[in-house]
Amino acid sequence: MGHALGTRSRPGRSVVTMSSITLATNRGRPFRTSNVLRQYVPLLPPSILLLVFFAIPMGMMVGLSFHPEGASTATLANYERFFTDDFTLAGLGRTVLMSGLVAICVTVMAYPVAYFLARSRSRWRAVVFALAIAPELAGVVLRTYGWLIILEDQGFINSGLMWLGLISEPLPLAKNMFGVVVGLTHVILPFGILSLLTSLQGVDPSLEKSAQILGASRISVLRHIVVPLTVPGIVSSMLLAFTMSASAYATPAILGGADFKVLATMVYEQVLFYIDWSFAAVMANVLLVMMLIIAAIGSRLEMRLHKKLHF
């Protein structure tokens, strides 16, 4: 395992700008094979699996979205229904707002933890790492009920505050946007931490050290070196958090209450209760297009921030 250390602190690779969405192409492969097509051969097994169990089934769903039950020819009727209905549109708006808030909360909370994991040499690091991924180990449903017990009107926080006499009416912590954002942030935080960690590990610690030796304060090291270099990580963490929240079902369903409908909960109802898969496919497609737009905005933003913050 000795070589591994050597690869880390080599000065030449300090500016690692790869993110998981825009991949660096300048690295090249170590073991050359001559045939161009042969390069793609290893992709075959994963691609076949993805084709059979994802692309073809989803293709069927896309087809289904143009064929509502009873329609003999392709029609946009279900898309029209989606975009002319204030109820579904409100659900779409709520989805964007919720996912955006979660993306920000996750990234802001994950950053210090990831930084600690990437830099600290303390023996607490293992503990922090274990705790950081702990939420993922427990099932979503029960964890969400855990939050409900904490946040609901007669939950721990409200009954505690009322017992202390600080409030007379319970605070609206659950069955609304606040509760959902708290729950989703908890679910997605480990992914944010891991995603930022990868990016922070790409920043050479000796860069920070030299800046400090040259008299820069920690704040300015953070602002002028660490944050600019991890912009790709920040953007990819936000995109991941956004994507995961927009398609999450259990947390909004349990912590959101009956009037908190997001696209994912509406899709769930269409699939399992109304059994209208055509309309469910329309919603899923809208969700997909929305995520593509957000991803495009994300990579734009990444490039712009990168130019602006890069020294």
Partner 1 sequence: MKCLFLAASAAVLSGAATIAHGQELIVNSYGGPYEQIIQDAIIKPFEEQFGVSVIYDAVGSSQQDYAKIKATNGRPGFDVVVMTASQSLEGCREGLLEPLSAEAVPNLAHLNAAISAVAGECGAVHELQYLALLYRTDMFEEAPTSWTDLYDERLDNRIVLPTFANIMAAFLTQLMSSVHGGDIDNNIDPGFEAMARLAAQSIGFEQASAILESYIRDGRVWAMPFWDGRAQLLVDSGAPVDYVLPKEGSIPLIATLNVPVGADNKELALQFVDFFLEKTSQERWVEGYKVGSARADIEVSEEARARKITTPADLDALLLPDLSSLASNLSAWGMRWEREVVPAAR
Partner 2 sequence: MNRIVSGLFRVSIVLVMAFITLPLIVVMAASLSPSSQVTLVPWEWTVRWYGDLVARRWIDPFILSAQIAVLVSLISGVLGLLAAYVVAFEKCPGHAAIMSFLLSPLAVPQIVKGVAIVLFLSSAGLYRWVGTPGLVAAHIILTLPFAVRMIATAMFNFDRNLDRAGQSLGATKAQRIRHLLIPIIKPGVFSGMTFAFIISFNNIPLSVFLVRPGQTTLPITVINYLEYSLDPVLAAVNVASLLFVLAVIFVFEKIGGFSAQIHGGSK
Dihedral of alpha carbons 228, 232, 234, 235, sign: positive
Contact string (CB under 8 A) for partner 2, positions 101-140, x = contact? --------xx-xx-xxxx------xx-xx-xx-xxxxxxx
Q: Which of residues 142, 164, 166, 214 is near partner 2 by CB under 8 A? A: 142
Q: At what angle do helices 277-309 and 56-65 cross, to 10 degrees?
A: 110
Q: Cβ(199)–Cβ(230) under 8 Å?
A: yes
Both structure tokens of 58: 């989803």
Helix runs in the chain, H state only: 2-8, 44-50, 56-65, 77-84, 86-119, 124-137, 140-151, 156-163, 177-201, 205-213, 218-221, 227-229, 231-246, 250-256, 263-272, 277-309
Nearer to partner 1, 61 or 222 (CB): 61
56-95 residues near partner 2, rule: CB under 8 A:
56-58, 60-61
> Max alpha carbon distance in the chain (Å)?
76
Q: Is 274 in the site for partner 1 (CB under 8 A)?
A: yes
Q: Can you spell out the DSSP letters for 62-98?
A: HHHHTS-TT-SS---HHHHHHHH-HHHHHHHHHHHHH
Contact string (CB under 8 A) for partner 1, positions 164-203, x = contact? -----------x----------------------------
Q: Which of residues 14, 18, 104, 176 is near partner 2 by CB under 8 A? A: 18
Could you tell me the smallest distance in angstroms from the CB atom of residue 265 to partner 1? 10
Q: Cα angle at 71 between 66 and 77, to 5 degrees?
A: 50
CA separation for the pair 91, 263 (Å, rounded): 6
Q: Is 261 in the site for partner 1 (CB under 8 A)?
A: yes
Q: Is 201 in the site for partner 2 (CB under 8 A)?
A: yes
Nearer to partner 2, 26 or 168 (CB): 26
**Chosen from partner 2, partner 1, none, partner binding at 297 (C-beta under 5 to 8 Å by type):** none
Q: Which of residues 152, 260, 264, 302 is near partner 2 by CB under 8 A? A: 264
Q: Is 271 in the site for partner 1 (CB under 8 A)?
A: yes
Q: Which of residues 204, 208, 269, 302 is near partner 1 by CB under 8 A? A: 269
Question: Which residues here bind partner 1, judged by CB under 8 A?
Answer: 87, 154, 175, 257-259, 261, 269, 271-276
